[in-house]
Amino acid sequence: MVVLSQPALNQFLLLKPCKSTPLFTGIPVVDLTHPDAKNLIVEACRDYGFFKLVNHGVPLELVANLENEALRFFKKPQSEKDRAGPPDPFGYGSKRIGPNGDVGWVEYLLLNTNPDVISPKSLSIFRENPHHFRAVVENYITAVKKMCYVVLELMAEGLGIAQRNSLSRLLKDEKSDSCFRMNHYPPCPEVPALNRNLVGFGEHTDPQIISVLRSNSTSGLQICLTDGTWVSVPPDQTSFFINVGDALQVMTNGRFKSVKHRVLADTTKSRLSMIYFGGPALSEKIAPLPSVMLKGEESLYKEFTWLEYKKAAYTSRLADNRLAPFQKSAAD
């Protein structure tokens, strides 16, 4: 096993040992077919900003097909993978996360979910893969989108919003600015002398409305509870995990919290995760929904477009509080 030198490791984020943090057993589980799913979703989003979704209706064959194609790509020689990079922001990236100096023990593919907008980098990925990678990706994304619409419509019902499609319509919009990311975390070098955990992906919140995560059976994902405690999420390769994003926190006027999360690298096993980020059209105005607000309730946030927030989010560091500049002060 490769052992990195101290200088080589300096570019990566090292955490104090997590003392074999036990897997957290309190993650809310929502059965999408349960009669009370709408209220269970709202409760989970309010208390954790995160939940596990079971009986989701996405065929596991689609999941397995995509995982196989993704691993086939990530196992290619580095020179071949590099042809699909550097990301623009779509395409292949390695170690560097965003433009502002964040790095992690990760390589990834970022794709646009709009089949009419395929970036040149994405085309190079699909063209070089003889196993119908593009079709497999599109079949998976189509199924996950349908599931996501159901979740958002149940969420709207649970919030008491009269228009059931108030949230789902934003993702159904043909100009929806959604994206799809596949993260591969290779086994990381042992660092026995340092006795530290190497970060695969640093702590952050997701800027979009909602994120739908699926990962293999390797642990590593951690979420931050409301009291600031980091807990490890038990992996479940047959289920999906749903994250509240920053935009949804604003739209619910803080009732739902955008969950802070991170990924720790594993010294022996690789981890593969696939995330659909559901975002609105760039011109969409983001503000608390009037139907969620109580009479006389003040908005906690200034109104902004998704484009304005996206630009601000992607020029910040991962761990920054991206919503801070958009929060209203007492003087506003």
Q: Give catalytic status of residue 127 as yes or no.
A: no
Tens digit of each residue's pLDDT, the chain (332 residues): 344 444 444 455 555 554 445 688 899 999 999 999 999 999 999 999 999 999 999 999 999 999 999 999 999 999 989 988 888 888 899 998 878 888 899 999 998 887 666 666 666 666 655 458 888 999 999 999 999 999 999 999 999 998 999 999 999 999 999 999 999 999 887 654 454 568 899 999 999 999 999 999 999 999 999 899 999 999 999 999 999 999 999 999 999 999 999 999 888 899 999 999 999 999 999 999 999 999 999 999 999 999 999 999 988 999 999 999 999 875 55
pTM across the whole model: 0.91
Give the pLDDT confidence score for residue 134 in this predicted structure: 83
- The CATH number that domain 16-325 falls under is 2.60.120.330
Which residues neighbour 191 within 8 Å (Cβ) at sequence distance 6 or greater? 3, 4, 9, 14, 198
Dihedral through CA 285, CA 289, CA 290, CA 291, nearest 10?
150
Give the pLDDT confidence score for residue 64 in this predicted structure: 96
Domain boundaries, the chain: 16-325
- Strands 271-278 and 179-185 come out as antiparallel
**Residue 182 dihedral angles phi and psi, to the nearest 5°:** -115, 115
Question: Rounded to an integer, what distance in angstroms lies between the CA atom of residue 180 and that of residue 137?
Answer: 9
Task: Express the helix, strand and coil content of the chain in percent, nearest 5 each.
Answer: 30, 25, 50
The Cα-based distances of 282 to 137, 144, 307, 322 in angstroms read 23, 21, 5, 17
> Catalytic residue among 72, 271, 317, 322, which?
271
